[in-house]
Structure 1
């Protein structure tokens, strides 16, 4: 079992890529250099191979690969790995390979603890190759070793795409086995997100804050494992983009400088550009309700108009306020285009609710999105993105406030019905009262007014009435008003989905 002092030693070395002198460790942990030497020996006795290496004249260094591999093997603790499904097994293996890429592993080190046959392992390898191919990565195998080959950018995309929980800030789901380090890393990343918001004078809403958190957290873990093996060259195109957007570029540089200080490292220069991609792919809440059309990129305006035109071609949605919809949707489309270009995915935890609440509208937006992909030569727009776009159209539909034609009924058609009419007209602007009638005249009036969608009555009505009905008091109490509002909203939704 690792004591607090030994844990502190390991945690300190985890944040250092190079050798650390014993005197530095002594000062940091407030113990003597002899105690440091003794702690190192005690730590190493807990492993089959030494995880803290020493070199005369240079000090101590943590073998991160060995440390993570050993602790990952024991992190499962109470989990019986023999009970994992094939999908869960592959998930565990590919996660480890990606987080430590391009480190090589013996096949038996990765698959041995699962106690599976050679044919099952061969099936896993084929499945993992197909999975990695989607991210332009390859699974290499030679002389009993296996590893992932590909660019750092694609490795990050695979990690984010395959293993980012919707909660986003659940740092424990990654490879780092030390919970205290997880918490410290997560706190540092959250502080950087707060700093970004301060520097750009705007909030980063869900799910974009989650995406940026995940990106920065993975960056820290990747550096701890592979360090200088991470790609670091910026292209002229990257530098040009940063020069053209110097304000955001300076924010990104400040964050990377802070991470360098935290890790006592020199992260590759390209990390500034990677963070820039995430920021420009995020919908920033800068409290500007109206877009500046003069500065809006033409592609943003064209795509927004195209989506609106395609969806409102459906008669059910042709009455929406297209100008107001354009104002809100266009602000979403610019970061969406950046996400498509940078292959950045976002999670949408409201997707199923959106599909259930607005099934026809969702399908209309999805169809329009698929057409726009072909029209503008875009990368595919997935359902999560379609769901976000649907929300803007749904808001426009809800704001249509389509008048609902209602018929007022009372025993005589006078007096109480007229009182009820006055109260409804005062409290509900979206209702059109076709007529007030007596109960005996209801059937005849309905035949003359097929447009009536709701009958509001102060008396009970026969079941033969096929139009929706609602019985209320002539005084139209608060409860009556709430019931009427719910009924009208229900009718509007049904009308929008027909």
Structure 2
């Protein structure tokens, strides 16, 4: 791997002599302290993998500085022999070459890997392809694969997206022919002109990679396997009938590819192109009734489980469900046909919204299993869903002051329990009542509620006070929820 811009920024900001505090880094790059910690951990993980040493030293109370061991190392271009990106390029060569055999030495001819390292990489590639029900066979000199054309295409599209982390331009750097690029862009423009829209990211990348895959498969491989493909089901034919404009433009694109390659594409390609256009939610489609029901219930359960709710008193929860529904409905269709979308904000989302992302990553597969939705919901989709929750949390967070008479350890435990039970709350500070009085109640200007483990009898405090126990019982949680919901009704 190579370091991201964010990681390199921190590396260049630090030095080998003097410590730099976390707050200085945060101020320089507008990162939260948690984000600084996570970025430095990722940098050090690479150092440990390659050199068994941390790249950045940390010292409590002092901050961070670079490890002098790396003075003579080119940190910008550090790369790992375990880098997935190299494997993805090899995987694409094998997939595009199917059903022909691929010479092993042609895949690794520019590397200096030992035979044992090459075999380890081939094992990794074998495991990667197996998730698509594609089986890698190896002889002494050659590699070949066995699998259905449909699965090979899913693997190609997904792998292209993994190697294309920012935009279409990465594909251009991957030696895509200029004429191919112009042809693909003209087909995307055809869709945009037909529907009077500008196709947004990431759906433009999906369409680009699908058409690119068709060009390479028909030009370099032998796509005779579609003859064995099951014909369209009644449901799929109805989908085409109910969306005539999308179907019409899909047929035109297929005919344009026929002419461009001087090859007749199988008629089923019209349906696969249709699915890629149909899979994004930028204009009105007629979705299957079952998808509509599942998407609505999936969105509802997701909000209930994230916020630990039984019913929705706050109208804003319903607004969140509605926003999620319009993402999850086309997502269900994408999962069914094996269409994956990339998310070039994913790394930043995982760093900035760590708690929200990981909580959703834990909840979503459980809900998916209940509805028996096949194909994994990948991190790219969870990243987009995270943004919907963060939008809600940011606009609806209540600022809380926690008054606690117990020790630091107990008050910190109570704060963590509150944050877990109410992720929509922002706990501004934890302090004793005497500390609050000594501050002349200035902090109260920043808070919406006071949660206190002691009785407060002070008429000068006008903010709502909710008395809770230091252990935060289930009764306390119900009391907080009831009080806040009642306030909303009044407000």
Q: Which runs of 5+ in 2 are unaligned?
A: 1-78, 402-435, 449-491
Write the distance in 2 (CA, Å) between the matches of 1:112 and 1:357.
40
TM-score by length of 2: 0.58
Q: Is the 8 A contact 1:232 1:269 kept in 2?
A: no
SS in 2 for 1:349: coil
Write the distance in 1 (CA, Å) between the matches of 2:296 and 2:105.
55
* Counterpart for residue 260 of structure 1: 258
Q: Is the 8 A contact 2:104 2:143 kept in 1?
A: yes
Cα–Cα, structure 1 residues 86 and 297, in superposed 2: closer, same or farther, change >3 Å? closer
Deviations 1:116-158 (A, max 9, x none): 5554444443333222212211122347443122122222222
Larger Rg: 1
Q: Is the 8 A contact 1:205 1:283 kept in 2?
A: no
* Counterpart for residue 277 of structure 1: 275
Cα–Cα, structure 1 residues 154 and 173, in superposed 2: closer, same or farther, change >3 Å? farther
Two-structure CA RMSD over aligned residues (Å): 3.7
Cα–Cα, structure 1 residues 337 and 96, in superposed 2: closer, same or farther, change >3 Å? same
Match for 2:327 among 329, 332, 338?
Answer: 332
Write the distance in 2 (CA, Å) between the matches of 1:239 and 1:103.
35
Write the distance in 1 (CA, Å) between the matches of 2:179 and 2:254.
17
* Counterpart for residue 474 of structure 1: none
Q: Is the 8 A contact 2:172 2:181 kept in 1?
A: no
Q: Is the 8 A contact 2:399 2:446 kept in 1?
A: no
SS in 1 for 2:332: helix
Deviations 1:428-469 (A, max 9, x none): xxxxxxxxxxxxx974863xx9855369xxxxxxxxxxxxxx
Write the distance in 2 (CA, Å) between the matches of 1:89 and 1:368.
33
Write the distance in 2 (CA, Å) between the matches of 1:256 and 1:355.
38
Q: Is the 8 A contact 1:204 1:283 kept in 2?
A: no
Write the distance in 2 (CA, Å) between the matches of 1:296 and 1:228.
31
Match for 2:226 among 221, 225, 231?
Answer: 231
Match for 2:305 among 298, 310, 324?
Answer: 310
SS in 1 for 2:189: helix
SS in 2 for 1:148: strand
* Counterpart for residue 385 of structure 2: 389
Between 362-371 and 229-238, report the one with greater CA deviation: 229-238
SS in 2 for 1:332: helix
In the TM superposition, residue 255 of structure 1 has moved relative to its aligned partner by: 1.2
Q: Is the 8 A contact 2:99 2:222 kept in 1?
A: no
In the TM superposition, residue 334 of structure 1 has moved relative to its aligned partner by: 0.8
Match for 1:322 among 310, 314, 317?
Answer: 317
Q: Are 1:453 and 2:451 matched, yes or no?
A: no
Write the distance in 2 (CA, Å) between the matches of 1:335 and 1:370.
17
Q: Are 1:162 and 2:159 matched, yes or no?
A: yes
Write the distance in 1 (CA, Å) between the matches of 2:86 and 2:287.
51
Q: Is the 8 A contact 1:372 1:378 kept in 2?
A: no
Q: Which runs of 5+ in 1 are unaligned?
A: 1-82, 406-440, 456-498
Match for 1:184 among 179, 185, 194?
Answer: 179
Across the two proteins, how many residue pairs are aligned to each other?
327
* Counterpart for residue 172 of structure 1: 172
Q: Is the 8 A contact 2:149 2:223 kept in 1?
A: no
Cα–Cα, structure 1 residues 115 and 313, in superposed 2: closer, same or farther, change >3 Å? closer
- Report matched runs for 1:21-100 at 5 Å: 85=81, 87=83, 90-100=87-97
Cα–Cα, structure 1 residues 312 and 125, in superposed 2: closer, same or farther, change >3 Å? closer
* Counterpart for residue 337 of structure 2: 342
In the TM superposition, residue 328 of structure 1 has moved relative to its aligned partner by: 1.7
Deviations 1:312-331 (A, max 9, x none): 2279x985702221222111
Write the distance in 2 (CA, Å) between the matches of 1:296 and 1:96.
36
In the TM superposition, residue 370 of structure 1 has moved relative to its aligned partner by: 2.6
In the TM superposition, residue 240 of structure 1 has moved relative to its aligned partner by: 4.3
* Counterpart for residue 136 of structure 2: 139
Write the distance in 1 (CA, Å) between the matches of 2:190 and 2:90.
35
SS in 2 for 1:231: helix
Deviations 1:374-421 (A, max 9, x none): 22222432222111111112222233274899xxxxxxxxxxxxxxxx
Write the distance in 2 (CA, Å) between the matches of 1:117 and 1:396.
52
SS in 2 for 1:371: helix
SS in 1 for 2:282: coil
SS in 1 for 2:308: coil
Between 255-264 and 87-96, report the one with greater CA deviation: 87-96
In the TM superposition, residue 213 of structure 1 has moved relative to its aligned partner by: 0.7
Cα–Cα, structure 1 residues 319 and 355, in superposed 2: closer, same or farther, change >3 Å? farther
SS in 1 for 2:258: helix
